[in-house]
Structure 1
Amino acid sequence: CVSFLDKFHQSLKENDVKFTSADIEKAIVKTCKDAKGKENRFCYYIGATSDAATKIINEVSKPLSYHVPVEKICEKLKKKDGQICELKYDKQLDLTTVDLKKLKVKDLKKILEEWGESCKGCAEKSDFIRKITELMPKYAPAAARARTDL
């Protein structure tokens, strides 16, 4: 919750969005359209996705328009919906140093999923590793350069 709203607050400042409740709501919905994984789940909980059951966007947009600290907003959201604070980010793998051969297939699939890619016809671990190394320059250029230097 805190990290998502913190990033969102920074993007509002950078894009010079007016700090009115309505403008912030529009920006939240726009940001949530591109969100994936845990961030999309957070958007669902606050009602910023099209398939959400409840809408508590105003519980985020109003306090943000008054420049309330992100931590306080998350505390209030916790009282409304406890699931919001239960969202935990998976730890990020450092692709520059990790040995792909030692990872589980599940982790290799997760890397591809984070990139928005899939591996059709991949049956073995080596197929997934080949696909990841093939796509690495596109999605993780720094990691790809570091790997070629090794």
Structure 2
Amino acid sequence: MRAISIISAAFVLASSVSASNDPRECEVCMKVMTEVRESLAKDDQKDKPKIEAALGDYCAREDLSAKEKKICYYVDPIKRDVAQPFSLGMPVDRLCKRINKANPEICSVKFPVKTENLETKDLTKLRVKQLKSILMDRGVECKGCVEKDEFIKKVQETEHLAGADEF
């Protein structure tokens, strides 16, 4: 009985570690914070008011994608909390994970999966969750889809609906 509980605890730990190593985790937040850091002069990267101003300037840009605007929406009320670790030179991946504790939706914002010129063999490498995300971005429901092959078929059938924001 004890061996089963140890094995189940190890499985839970392994699954949580693999989930936190998702390469797409916090990808939009990290892009935003990297661009804000690059927009600041070296001396200004330690000045909290200038960091807050740079965040505001970045978020006021007209050329932001919908996902970047969403990060700005989440970060705007906590600019001060973001500026503190930012001013200490914390790497952007750790910075995003820290502010994710204040607002768990920050790391859930992900760029859409690029589907341009994907062949069937490429789609089979995607997870069902990613296939569902592609369909959701296209505004398509896959009613009755259970198997991965059904989701792949629906993605291929709706390829003409791939929007400009997807790329």
> How far, CA to CA, are the matches of 1:32 and 1:105 in structure 2?
31
**1:32 matched to 2:30:** no
| RMSD (Å) for aligned C-alpha atoms | 2.6
- Counting only pairs closer than 5 Å after superposition, residues 1-150 of structure 1 correspond to structure 2 as 1-13=29-41, 18-19=44-45, 20-34=47-61, 35-47=64-76, 55-92=77-114, 104-107=159-162, 110-111=163-164, 113=165
Identity within the alignment, %: 24
Contact 2:71–2:109 (8 Å) recurs in 1: yes
Answer whether contact 1:17 1:24 (CA < 8 A) is retained. no
- Structure 1's consecutive aligned runs of 4 or more residues displaced over 6 angstroms after TM superposition are none
Are the equivalent residues in 2 in contact too, given 1:25–1:57 (CA < 8 A)? yes
Name 2:127's counterpart in structure 1: none
Q: Structure 2 vs 1, CA of residues 90 and 57 (structure 1 numbering), >3 Å: closer, same or farther? A: same
Q: What TM-score comes out, normalization by structure 1 length? A: 0.56
Q: Tell me the secondary structure at the aligned position of residue 57 of structure 1.
A: helix
Kindly indicate whether the alpha-carbon contact (under 8 Å) linking 1:45 and 1:84 is maintained by their aligned counterparts in 2: yes
Query: Could you tell me which residue of structure 2 aligns to residue 121 of structure 1?
Result: none
Q: Which runs of 5+ in 2 are unaligned?
A: 1-28, 119-156
Q: Which has the higher contact order (CA 8 A, sep 6+)?
A: 2
Q: Conserved in 1, the CA contact under 8 Å of 2:39 and 2:54?
A: no
Query: Distance between the aligned counterparts of 2:166 and 2:113, measured in 1?
Result: 12
Q: Which amino acid is the alignment partner of residue 104 of structure 1?
A: E
Which structure has the larger Rg? 2
Query: How much has 1:93 moved relative to structure 2?
Result: 5.3
User: 1:97-136: CA deviations, max 9, x gaps?
Assistant: 68xxx863421xx21x579xxxxxxxxxxxxxxxxxxxxx
Letter in 1 for 2:65: K
CA-CA distance at 1:3 after TM superposition: 2.3
Unaligned 5+ runs, structure 1: 48-54, 116-150
CA distance in 2, matches of 1:76, 1:43: 16
CA distance in 2, matches of 1:9, 1:114: 25
Cα distance in 2 for partners of 1:30, 1:17 equals 18
Counterpart contact for 2:30–2:93, Cα < 8 Å: yes
Question: TM-score with structure 2 length normalisation?
Answer: 0.51
